[in-house]
Amino acid sequence: MLRKLKLTLDMIKFEHSIFALPFAATGALLAIRESSFAVAGLPAKLWWIFLAMVSARSAAMAFNRILDRDIDARNPRTAMRHLPAGLLSRDFAILFTVAMSAIFVLSAAQLNSLCAILSPVALGVVFGYSYTKRFTSLAHVVLGFALGIAPAAAWIAIRGSLDARILWLTLAVTLWTAGFDIIYSCQDIDFDRRSGLSSIPARLGVADALNVARALHFGMIGALVALSGAFWLGALSWAGIAVVAALLIYEHSLVKADDLSRVNAAFFTVNGYVGILFFAFWAADMLWRR
């Protein structure tokens, strides 16, 4: 069982939870700030937010691997993933997905009634993404939205209601994720076209797809600027936006239409730093001006 658990965590790329967690934490911290840093039972709330985030992502990733196992088996790049390679069984992956989904719903219920009501909707969004590449090139945006709802969900978890201002952060994460997913999917352009799968690279070609990714990331910076203004944040938040912009420029410098050899560095390494450094600067700004 321990071996299966280790393989499962590898299958769902558990370490990539770092992508969305800092933005969810930013949403939570903005909500705490709006509550004048006086939130009853805050440590417990933060624990349930963390558990909800990790379990929802884990369930979504496992579900995606189950649904795509036949596609992955035909793609040379993904043929050795755990399910097509036989390292884990489909039944075990289903059991893991159900368990993670249950933990997510339970975690949401511990936060407040609105979180409990919205938990099935959130699962519908994160599971629904897995079907989208079968019929729309906007699958990247749907994936982005699946991650983008995390900051708004964290806000609701703290405040018990939604404030429209936090949707700027939802938009920023949606555009950011869609952009880097387009870059990553450039690797599979030939396979997607042969298999009839939808993606921006398959539809437009690599060069134009990279231009779309750049435009989405430019939009992300605009959304962060709007978010900072909406909450009247200070200089450190602007410094954080500048750092994110610099990292995105560097990310795009790593990939060219005729050279995708550094896609993994652009996707995994740079984007990990984007979330962590963004949260560090924004948390410092909010706590410094407390």
pLDDT average per 10 residues of sequence, the chain (290 residues):
85 80 96 94 96 95 96 94 94 95 98 97 97 96 97 97 98 97 96 96 97 98 98 97 97 94 84 94 91
**Residue 153 near residue 118 (C-beta atoms within 8 A):** yes
What domains can be seen in the chain, in order of their start residue? 2-288 (1.10.357.140)
Per-residue confidence (pLDDT) for residue 113, from 0 to 100: 97
Cα 69 from chain centroid (whole Å): 21
Which one, of 9, 45, 40, lies nearest residue 27 by Cα?
45
H runs (alpha helix) in 68-185: 69-74, 90-111, 113-132, 139-159, 167-185
**Residue 131 near residue 141 (C-beta atoms within 8 A):** no
Q: For residue 207, what are its two tokens? A: 């060069």
Measured distance CA(94)–CA(99) in Å, rounded: 9
Cβ partners under 8 Å of residue 287, min gap 6: none
| Strand partners of residue 137 | none
| Strand partners of residue 256 | 259
Per-residue confidence (pLDDT) for residue 242, from 0 to 100: 98
Per-residue confidence (pLDDT) for residue 18, from 0 to 100: 74
Question: HSE (CB half, 13 Å, CA atoms) of 143?
Answer: 22
Measured distance CA(235)–CA(239) in Å, rounded: 6
SS3 77: coil
Calculate the alpha carbon distances from 231 to 13, 94, 162, 164, 255 in Å.
34, 42, 15, 11, 35
Measured distance CA(95)–CA(92) in Å, rounded: 5
Per-residue confidence (pLDDT) for residue 244, from 0 to 100: 98
**Residue 84 near residue 73 (C-beta atoms within 8 A):** yes
Sign of CA dihedral 19, 21, 24, 26: negative
SS3 194: helix
CB atoms < 10 A from the CB of 62, how many? Answer: 26
Per-residue confidence (pLDDT) for residue 266, from 0 to 100: 78
Q: For residue 214, what are its two tokens? A: 């750049």
| Strand partners of residue 259 | 256
Residue owning tokens 């990939």: 255
